[in-house]
Amino acid sequence: MREKVFSCLEKWHMTEPGMRIVVGLSGGADSVALLLLLSEYREKGQIEVEALHVHHGIRGETADRDQAFCEAFCRERGIPLKIVKKDVPEMAVGLHMSLEEAGREARYEAFEEYQREHPGSRTALAHHQNDQAETMLFRLMRGTGLRGLRGMEPVRLPYIRPLLCVTKEEILEFLKEEGISWVEDESNQELSYTRNKIRHLLLTPMEQIWPGSVSRMARTAEQLRETEEYLLKETEKACALYAQIQTEEIRIRLAAFEELHPAMQKRMVLSLLEQLMGSGKDLEAVHAEQLVSLAHGKRGGRTSLPGGAYAELGYKDLLLRRKSRKKTPVEYQEEVRICLPENFSEQPRAEFVFGGETFLFSLEKAGKMKKIPNRCYTKWFDYDKIRHGLVIRTRRPGDCLANGEHAHKKLKDYLIDSKVPREKRDGLILLADGNQVVWIVGMRISEDYKVTEQTKTILKVQIKNREE
């Protein structure tokens, strides 16, 4: 076993000369064997080895016993040991986790603290082939793809796993041969924990029926890892070519996306979702299938995703979004009422600000204008047709737009027909007269308010500093 582990250290380039390696030491057989082997490897690998033990604040005297064992074990061998105390029950309540999940969170929090104190160091974890098989089965039952079935990686900096080349049985045999003792965590026998159920109710019978199945699963994980490395590079290429990535949204160009193989489509959306959310936690193969199905569905479709993210199908893009932490000025600003001064006809000019835009209002005599120019951010209206008083605001239920002679349409339907992406509709600035939309800024004006031959007074509305 010693040669296997040393070979694994070198094959995966887990250490470098002069590097500090800290071993997560629980006192159990796996971590004790790992610390012992790495301490033997110190001279050959030219590394420094330390240990870190996390006291979880649970299991009472048993936890104190584990800490005392680790202290004695390291003291006898001259290995520096750091003790970190965590209140796991409090973490479980605060983070809404099970004790099992909170314990894992506490350990990784302690490792991260150590990394900050010792930049450039690496943390050695004692996962072995049985743990790898458990992980594969756990992910398979939850629903995962090829990526999940590759299991744990030997190296995922700053973490290294030198024991992934050996089984639990080999570890126990090694310790017995060396005459090394360890402590048993009685919670490993409790079937209330999911991983314990997998270990005792699935893996143990599997190994009895097909001896060597754990090692074969570990080899399969390694083969899948190699395949995954290749596919990851291809996925990165596809994301770079066909997706536009921003902080809170990602747009996937549908025309190009639909040409990809379904397997690459699923990989691509999962990769992009992970970027959007900052983590792959809670993402499963079913979410990839959801998104691919959405991409081939009806325009305007929408689906919810983990972590407050969601996806919707636009006219040219598949849009992945997460809930914005801040609103734009347009989204939270109250409406602005256009109160024109009494002497407006004598001094026909007024300014109003909404959503970061400055609106200039002025009056002109109809006879002075021979032709109404076609401009995007300057519009002319029949002033006498305004009935309720103008306001600048965003859309509301019941808004209507006259989009043809004697033809009125709900604003919502008009925006859908005009293929305005859903995520942009609430941010549109409107000039409105009651529930009648006079102007969708940057788009069209209402037929009801257009200047005609009968118009006597023209209201000119211009957005300041906007290029036409």
Residues 363 and 379 in one domain: yes
Residues 151 and 173 in one domain: yes
Residues 314 and 335 in one domain: no
Give me the CATH number covering residue 265: 3.30.465.60
Reported pTM: 0.60
Listed residues 322, 349, 376: the one ending a domain = 322
Higher model confidence: residue 401 or residue 319? 401
Residues 203 and 293 in one domain: no
In angstroms, the CA 289 to CA 227 distance is 21
Give me the CATH number covering residue 59: 3.40.50.620
Residues 173 and 308 in one domain: no
Residues 307 and 336 in one domain: no
Residues 317 and 206 in one domain: no
Instruction: Write out pLDDT tens, residues 342-351.
Output: 666 555 578 8
Is residue 392 domain-resident? yes
Residues 318 and 342 in one domain: no
Q: Is the pLDDT of residue 2 over 60?
A: yes
Among 452, 461, 463, 462, smallest CA distance to 385 is for 452
Among 127, 125, 129, smallest CA distance to 207 is for 129
Q: Is 69 left (phi over 0), alpha (psi -120 to 50) or beta?
A: alpha
Q: Is the pLDDT of residue 325 over 60?
A: no
How far apart are the two ends of the chain, measured CA to CA in Å? 76
Instruction: Calculate helix-pair angle for 213-242, 129-142, nearest 10 degrees.
Output: 60
Higher model confidence: residue 203 or residue 191? 203
The mean pLDDT of the chain is 86
Residues 339 and 311 in one domain: no
Is residue 447 domain-resident? yes
Is residue 83 domain-resident? yes
Is residue 229 domain-resident? no
Query: In the chain, how many domains are there?
Result: 3
Residues 83 and 126 in one domain: yes
Among 280, 167, 158, 142, smallest CA distance to 218 is for 167
Residues 372 and 401 in one domain: yes
Average pLDDT over residues 224-242: 90
Q: Is the pLDDT of residue 331 over 70?
A: no
Give the pLDDT confidence score for residue 281 in this predicted structure.
Answer: 67
Instruction: Write out pLDDT tens, residues 38-72.
Output: 999 998 889 999 999 999 888 778 889 999 999 99
Domain with 401 in it: 330-463
| Residues facing residue 430 across a β-bridge | 393, 440
In angstroms, the CA 355 to CA 326 distance is 14
Among 46, 42, 53, smallest CA distance to 16 is for 46
Is residue 159 domain-resident? yes
Q: Is the pLDDT of residue 416 over 70?
A: yes
Residues 298 and 363 in one domain: no
Give yes or no for a contact between 293 and 265, defined as CB atoms under 8 angstroms apart: no
Listed residues 276, 306, 322: the one ending a domain = 322
Give the pLDDT confidence score for residue 54 in this predicted structure.
Answer: 92
